[in-house]
């Protein structure tokens, strides 16, 4: 039996209607920006495997560090115990996070990072004797698939069957220069009629919302209003963190810094799952008390797994290296040049870029999960390029180490698509 046949026997894939799409493509090997299937065909990973493998797949530097760590300590309960990789990671991360961040809490994935952030914010007010039970979030945001994170997310296709079980969320449009007055008055109205605990937002780029980008100054106005009303702000940097927007974190582009930051994906460079929720010392202090019950009773078995922490320490060292920073700027410049070339193509409706994230909307009507979307996906796959269009949006978020010729091949397949679509 082939891998594909064996897969079909027992496996249930995420985000997949198996009746329509029964086949998954077996990938047997990956290196740098390249993936290889079971027939030896090569693919350029144009989205860094959902924005994780930013330093390249099976990165040798990280591999060596993981190997060393694996010989020393594999796993230890993180309640009541600690270890060097977690300590080192906290030290290195605090050096590069926005200055107000002081404390690091571990979990397993982007959803749990946000779940933790939301629970921290709710309990922060609870511990201070205030009942604040509403979360403010952006329309069409995406924060993950656990209940709190899903409640805060505004994408219908994910939420339909579960809406009756959500925590209370009020939504505002992503703020822009055009709508900012409207958004601020909506926030004011929500604040006066609800007990808002926290505002959760993807800073500047809403990934799952087809890489929708919005404006730092307008977001800053909303953040200022939240701060003035003691509403904790949670920046979901699960996608934007670790260099994607050109700076280490997207929050660096915005004057007002968040109280809480969620991190995952590139944190562990595509090697193993892990997530972090960082916060200010003010948030942390609300949990310090003589009563045990005021502590944060949230834990995952693999919290701060030493192997995952050693990956993250190595990844942060790479992020700060001249080589990776040069690569980031090379990709940013290449995107800009490509944009100049195609932006006025009749099949291109609009384009946008922040850092290494580049997106274009095709000038055609289509459903997010319709047949046409799969035709476009196959156009890329046939040519050995992995890009996953979101509706009529084609976006690139490649590993920083992608070579110029690999990047050029992605651009060429997009240009070809514009001729045939
Ligand atoms: C901004 C954002 N938040 C949260 C998540 C959820 O992360 P995970 O899939 O690791 O649970 C994602 C995943 O794509 C994301 O893009």
Last-in-domain residue among 298, 319, 340: 319
d(Cα 284, Cα 127) in Å, to the nearest integer? Answer: 11
Q: Helix, strand, or coil here: 260?
A: strand
- Within this chain, do residues 168 and 19 fall inside the same structural domain, yes or no? no
Last-in-domain residue among 319, 343, 362: 319
Cβ of residue 306 lying under 6 Å from some atom of ligand 1 = no
User: Is 63 within the bounds of a domain?
Assistant: no
d(Cα 296, Cα 84) in Å, to the nearest integer? Answer: 23
Specify the residue for token string 């027939």: 39
* Torsion angles phi and psi, residue 362, rounded to 5: -75, 145
- Within this chain, do residues 221 and 341 fall inside the same structural domain, yes or no? no
Testing ligand 1's pocket by substitution, the residue of 144, 150, 262, 397 carrying the most ligand atoms inside 8 A of its CB is 144
Number of domains within the chain: 2
d(Cα 208, Cα 191) in Å, to the nearest integer? Answer: 27
Percentage of the chain modeled with pLDDT above 90: 95
pLDDT digits (tens, 9 = 90+) for 164-212: 999 999 999 999 999 999 999 999 999 999 999 999 999 999 999 999 9
- Within this chain, do residues 310 and 341 fall inside the same structural domain, yes or no? no
Cβ of residue 251 lying under 6 Å from some atom of ligand 1 = no
* Rg over CA atoms, the chain: 22
Question: Which atom of ligand 1 lies nearest, measured to the CA of 265?
Answer: 10
Specify the residue for token string 């562990």: 268
Alpha helices in 178-300 (DSSP H): 180-193, 216-228, 281-285
Give, using CA atoms, the residue closest to atom 16 of ligand 1. Answer: 239
Cβ of residue 110 lying under 6 Å from some atom of ligand 1 = yes
Cβ of residue 111 lying under 6 Å from some atom of ligand 1 = yes
Q: Considering the entire predicted model, what is its pTM?
A: 0.98
91: CATH = 3.40.640.10
CB 264 within 8 A of CB 275: yes
Give, using CA atoms, the residue closest to atom 4 of ligand 1. Answer: 143
Cβ of residue 239 lying under 6 Å from some atom of ligand 1 = yes
Q: Hey, what long-range contacts does 20-27 have (CB within 8 A, 24 or more apart)? A: 21/374, 25/381, 26/2
- Within this chain, do residues 204 and 114 fall inside the same structural domain, yes or no? yes
Cβ of residue 203 lying under 6 Å from some atom of ligand 1 = no
- Could you tell me the residue range of the domain that residue 288 belongs to? 73-319
* Torsion angles phi and psi, residue 54, rounded to 5: -70, -25
Instruction: Give the residue-averaged pLDDT of 212-220.
Output: 97
d(Cα 418, Cα 26) in Å, to the nearest integer? Answer: 28
Cβ of residue 109 lying under 6 Å from some atom of ligand 1 = yes
pLDDT digits (tens, 9 = 90+) for 26-71: 999 999 999 999 999 999 999 999 999 999 999 999 999 999 999 9
pLDDT of residue 161: 87
How far does the centroid of ligand 1 lie from the alpha carbon of residue 175, in Å? Answer: 21
36 CB burial (10 A radius; 0-12, 13-18, 19+):
middle
- Token pair of 39 as six digits: 């027939």
d(Cα 270, Cα 247) in Å, to the nearest integer? Answer: 20
């Amino acid at each position: 039996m082939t891998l594909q046949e064996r897969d079909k026997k027992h496996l249930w894939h995420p985000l997949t209607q198996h009746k329509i799409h029964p086949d998954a493509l077996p990938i047997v090997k990956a290196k740098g920006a390249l993936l290889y299937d079971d027939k030896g065909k090569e693919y350029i990973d144009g989205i860094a495997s959902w924005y994780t493998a930013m330093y390249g797949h099976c990165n040798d530097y990280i591999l060596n560090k993981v190997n060393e760590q694996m010989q020393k300590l594999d796993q230890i309960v993180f309640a009541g115990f600690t270890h060097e990789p977690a300590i080192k990671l906290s030290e290195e991360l605090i050096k590069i996070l926005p200055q107000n961040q002081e404390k690091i809490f571990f979990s397993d994935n982007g959803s749990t990072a946000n779940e933790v952030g939301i629970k921290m914010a709710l309990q922060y007010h609870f511990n201070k004797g205030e009942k604040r039970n509403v979360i403010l979030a952006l329309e069409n945001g995406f924060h993950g698939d656990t209940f709190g994170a899903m409640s805060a997310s505004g994408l219908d296709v994910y939420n339909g069957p579960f809406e009756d079980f959500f925590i209370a969320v009020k939504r505002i449009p992503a703020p822009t220069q055009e709508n900012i007055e409207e958004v601020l008055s909506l926030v004011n109205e929500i604040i006066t009629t609800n007990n808002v605990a926290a505002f959760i937002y993807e800073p500047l780029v809403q990934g799952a919302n087809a890489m929708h980008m919005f404006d730092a100054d307008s977001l800053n106005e909303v953040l200022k209003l939240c701060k003035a009303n003691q509403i904790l702000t949670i920046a979901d940097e699960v996608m934007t963190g670790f260099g994607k927007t050109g700076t280490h974190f997207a929050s660096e582009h915005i004057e007002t810094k968040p109280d809480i930051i969620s991190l995952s994906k590139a944190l562990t460079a595509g090697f193993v799952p892990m997530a972090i929720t960082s916060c200010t010392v003010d948030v942390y202090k609300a949990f310090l008390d003589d009563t045990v019950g005021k502590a944060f009773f949230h834990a995952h078995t693999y919290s701060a797994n030493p192997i995952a922490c050693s990956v993250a320490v190595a990844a942060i060292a790479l992020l700060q290296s001249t080589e990776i920073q040069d690569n980031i700027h090379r990709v940013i410049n290449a995107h800009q040049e490509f944009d100049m070339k195609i932006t006025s193509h009749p099949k291109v409706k609009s384009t946008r870029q922040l850092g290494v994230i580049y997106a274009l909307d095709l000038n055609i009507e289509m459903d997010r999960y319709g047949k046409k979307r799969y035709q476009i996906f196959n156009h890329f796959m046939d040519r050995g390029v992995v890009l996953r269009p979101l509706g009529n949006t084609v976006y690139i978020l490649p590993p920083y180490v992608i070579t110029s010729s690999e990047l050029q091949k992605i651009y060429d397949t997009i240009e070809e698509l514009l001729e045939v679509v």
